[in-house]
């Protein structure tokens, strides 16, 4: 267990033996299920539990509290969803020397969309799924971390990401001058928020979207669920599908206003920049491919 300079927990390693012990300790009826393959992320590890479940185990402070909060709100809406969702079915508390809250969730069979990208045919069912998610949220609902933050507040993040991109080299040795993206970004920042907050996934990372040979198979990792601007989810979704399939997604999602489209562009740029400057090779290639495509097609204003 890593600690920071002040003695706080910085990072936790979770072995298979520890994961099994935690399940036996708090969910003994599931204790005989096999501990399976693991998937390591920046802030948590996902571990298969039997055939139909998985463990979401935070490795840093923060996600555990979000898991507990989002689980309570998800219970209010998931019955209206018709798409496969890897939502929590059990919660766990710190035990066996592990310091964070954790969850057991439904497992969705398939590959993640970072490894096996979504095809054109995935656009319509993905749009339908987001339409089901993006319903009205009460005023007192918790804010999603990114989707609940207005674009103007990301100016510092924008400057940091564009500085990193300026010093980066793409998969084929290419480079991008971030200044060409500024007009599109400024237009997005100036766009009004013309719709009330709605429920949003909050982080449609390609690794949380499930692909079945390119088809849309579901969405997992829901602890970022909260109230926010649906433009953030739509931006992430457009990064997941071929550009020519955007209209197919909107056919099932429904048309959006010009202002919302502009905000989508802003969140899209932020996410594409994060991917293009990521240490994850799948996200890195995706980010560069999307940014180079945007510039090549001249769609930067």
Q: Tell me, yes or no, whether 155 and 216 share the same domain.
A: yes
Report the number of distinct structural domains present in the chain: 2
Please report which helix (H) or strand (E) contains residue 261, including its range.
helix 258-276
pLDDT band at residue 44 under the 50/70/90 scheme: very high
Q: Tell me, yes or no, whether 203 and 264 share the same domain.
A: yes
Instruction: Judge contact between 237 and 249, C-beta under 8 A.
Output: yes
pLDDT band at residue 5 under the 50/70/90 scheme: very low
- Evaluate whether residue 301 is within a structural domain: no
Which of 107, 132, 149 delimits the end of a domain?
107
pLDDT band at residue 6 under the 50/70/90 scheme: very low
Instruction: Judge contact between 225 and 132, C-beta under 8 A.
Output: no
Instruction: Give backbone dihedrals phi and psi of 113, rounded to 5 degrees, phi first.
Output: -75, -10
pLDDT of residue 4 exceeding 60: no
CATH for 52: 3.30.200.20
Q: Tell me, yes or no, whether 284 and 233 share the same domain.
A: yes
Interval 87-115 mean pLDDT:
97
Which residue shows structure tokens 């005023």?
Answer: 139
Q: Tell me, yes or no, whether 202 and 266 share the same domain.
A: yes
Whether this model's pTM surpasses 0.75: yes
Q: Which range of residues forms the domain containing residue 174?
A: 112-296
Which of 107, 131, 159 delimits the end of a domain?
107
Q: Tell me, yes or no, whether 258 and 209 share the same domain.
A: yes
Q: Tell me, yes or no, whether 80 and 163 share the same domain.
A: no
Residue 23: CB atoms within 10 A of its CB come to 26
Q: Tell me, yes or no, whether 134 and 223 share the same domain.
A: yes
pLDDT per residue as tens digits for the range 225-253: 999 999 999 999 999 999 999 999 999 99
Q: Tell me, yes or no, whether 36 and 151 share the same domain.
A: no
Query: What is the rounded distance in angstroms from the CA atom of residue 298 to the CA atom of residue 285?
Result: 20
Which of 42, 76, 107 delimits the end of a domain?
107
pLDDT per residue as tens digits for the range 184-239: 999 999 999 999 999 999 999 999 999 999 999 999 999 999 999 999 999 999 99
pLDDT per residue as tens digits for the range 141-157: 999 988 999 999 999 99
Query: What is the rounded distance in angstroms from the CA atom of residue 246 to the CA atom of residue 89?
Result: 33
């Amino acid at each position: 267990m890593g600690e920071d300079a002040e003695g706080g927990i910085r990072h936790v390693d979770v072995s298979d033996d520890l994961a099994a012990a935690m399940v036996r300790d708090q969910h003994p009826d599931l204790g005989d299920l096999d501990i399976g393959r693991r998937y390591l992320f920046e802030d948590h590890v996902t571990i298969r539990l039997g055939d139909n479940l998985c463990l979401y185990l935070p490795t840093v402070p923060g996600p555990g509290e979000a898991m507990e909060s989002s689980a309570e709100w998800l219970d209010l809406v998931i019955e209206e969803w018709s798409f496969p969702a890897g939502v929590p079915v059990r919660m766990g508390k710190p035990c066996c020397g592990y310091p964070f809250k954790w969850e057991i969730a439904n497992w969705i069979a398939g590959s993640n969309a970072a490894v096996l990208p979504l095809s054109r045919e995935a656009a319509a069912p993905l749009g339908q799924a987001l339409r089901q998610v993006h319903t009205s949220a009460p005023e007192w609902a918790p804010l999603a971390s990114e989707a609940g933050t207005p674009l103007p507040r990301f100016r510092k993040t924008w400057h940091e990401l564009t500085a990193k991109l300026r010093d980066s080299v793409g998969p084929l040795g290419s480079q991008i001058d971030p200044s060409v993206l500024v007009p599109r970004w400024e237009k997005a920042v100036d766009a009004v928020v013309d719709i009330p907050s709605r429920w949003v996934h909050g982080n449609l990372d390609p690794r949380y979207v499930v692909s079945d040979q390119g088809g849309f198979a579901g969405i997992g990792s829901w602890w970022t669920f909260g109230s926010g601007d649906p433009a953030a989810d739509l931006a992430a979704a457009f990064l997941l599908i071929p550009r020519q399939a955007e209209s197919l997604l909107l056919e099932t999602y429904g048309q959006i206003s010009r202002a919302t489209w502009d905000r989508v562009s802003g969140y899209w740029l932020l996410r594409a920049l994060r991917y293009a400057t990521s240490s994850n090779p799948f996200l890195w290639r995706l980010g560069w491919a999307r940014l180079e495509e945007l510039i090549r097609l001249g769609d930067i204003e």
